[in-house]
Amino acid sequence: MMKLGVSIFLVFYLFSFFSGLDGTLWFVSSLLTIFLVYKIKYVTRTKNQNEYRGVVKESNDSLYTESDNKGVSCILDLETTGFEPEDSEIVEIFILKIQDGGIVDEFYSLFKPNNRIMNSDIHGITDNKVKYAPKLKDKNDEIFEFVGDSTLVGHNLDNFDLKFLNYHLNSQLKNKTLDTLKLSRTVLGGKVENHKLHTLAEYFGINPPTHSARDDVMTTYEVYKKLISIK
């Protein structure tokens, strides 16, 4: 900003020198222009900060509220047999429980679907791998007990993971949520080509996702911490 102000001042000085503009007039004009530039920058910065705070204060998660450091978050990721819950099933889940900014517990399970797995090339989970795994319904109560009333965190959580869970579990998860995809769009905006988890991992220099529920949760956790540290 200082460099910009000096540049504006010099431009007005040179213009007045070669055009014969009154000295007092060019001086006042240059100061007024500098003031307006600073004002615009300040308003823009304040607006961006308020937008950021508006997103990160949507729930009581200790990692992103400014006042409460006692909240509990559960960062989760699923692997599924397809893209729509109506005709696909969950075959893997990993949930990382966070409290006071640190990891306190985790939940992991493979699930045996009712139909054959046809997309093993994506996540590496085969029918043989889940041959002796439990059905999702057998872990239903454990999942609800584990997440409790925590804030659920995930990448594209609202449009993917939560839809699958609410479709296949025996009741709806009514927890508060924070989607790091939406958070990234607010915090980073056009600084990245897109807001996919792999892109954000590359941007922040952390381990990329692998389409393993555990790996993807750990990547989301690191991306999450990076995003909420940006002021």
* The residue to which tokens 């004009």 are assigned: 29
Our CA angle for 175, 179, 184, nearest 5°, is 155
Region 32-45: what's the mean pLDDT? Answer: 51
Residue-level pLDDT at 108: 98
Q: For residues 1 and 209, which has the higher predicted lDDT (pLDDT)?
A: 209
* Statement to judge: residues 121 and 202 lie in one domain: yes
* Statement to judge: residues 48 and 79 lie in one domain: no
Say if residue 126's pLDDT is above 70.
yes
Residue 225 burial (C-beta neighbours within 10 Å; 0-12, 13-18, 19+) = middle
* Statement to judge: residues 104 and 211 lie in one domain: yes
Residue 84 belongs to some domain of the structure = yes
Residue 191 burial (C-beta neighbours within 10 Å; 0-12, 13-18, 19+) = exposed
The tokens for 117 are 């797995």
Say if residue 47's pLDDT is above 80.
no
Say if residue 150's pLDDT is above 80.
yes
Q: How confident is the model at residue 125 (pLDDT cuts 50, 70, 90)?
A: very high
Region 170-193: what's the mean pLDDT? Answer: 97
Region 4-14: what's the mean pLDDT? Answer: 53
* Statement to judge: residues 51 and 76 lie in one domain: no
Residue 154 CA to residue 20 CA, distance in Å, equals: 63
Residue 61 belongs to some domain of the structure = no
Answer for the pair 72, 65: CB distance below 8 angstroms, yes or no.
no
| Predicted structure pTM score | 0.72
Contacts of residue 150, Cβ cutoff 8 Å, sequence gap at least 6: 71, 72, 73, 74, 97, 175
* Statement to judge: residues 80 and 192 lie in one domain: yes
Count of the separate structural domains present in the chain: 2
Residue 137 belongs to some domain of the structure = yes
Torsion of CA 210, 211, 214, 215, to 10 degrees: 20
Residue-level pLDDT at 53: 43
Q: For residues 67 and 118, which has the higher predicted lDDT (pLDDT)?
A: 118
Residue 124 belongs to some domain of the structure = yes
The angle that helices 213-229 and 197-204 make with each other, rounded to 10 degrees, is 60
pLDDT tens for 10-35 read 555 555 555 655 556 555 555 665 55
* Statement to judge: residues 6 and 80 lie in one domain: no
Question: pLDDT > 70: what percent of the chain?
Answer: 70
What is the pLDDT of the chain when averaged over all its residues?
A: 83
* Statement to judge: residues 80 and 52 lie in one domain: no
Residue-level pLDDT at 71: 87
Q: How confident is the model at residue 162 (pLDDT cuts 50, 70, 90)?
A: very high
Residue 6 belongs to some domain of the structure = yes
Q: How confident is the model at residue 40 (pLDDT cuts 50, 70, 90)?
A: very low
Residue 65 belongs to some domain of the structure = no
Domain containing 92 equals 72-229
pLDDT tens for 63-89 read 444 333 358 999 999 999 999 999 999
Q: For residues 7 and 139, which has the higher predicted lDDT (pLDDT)?
A: 139
Residue-level pLDDT at 101: 84
* Statement to judge: residues 128 and 27 lie in one domain: no
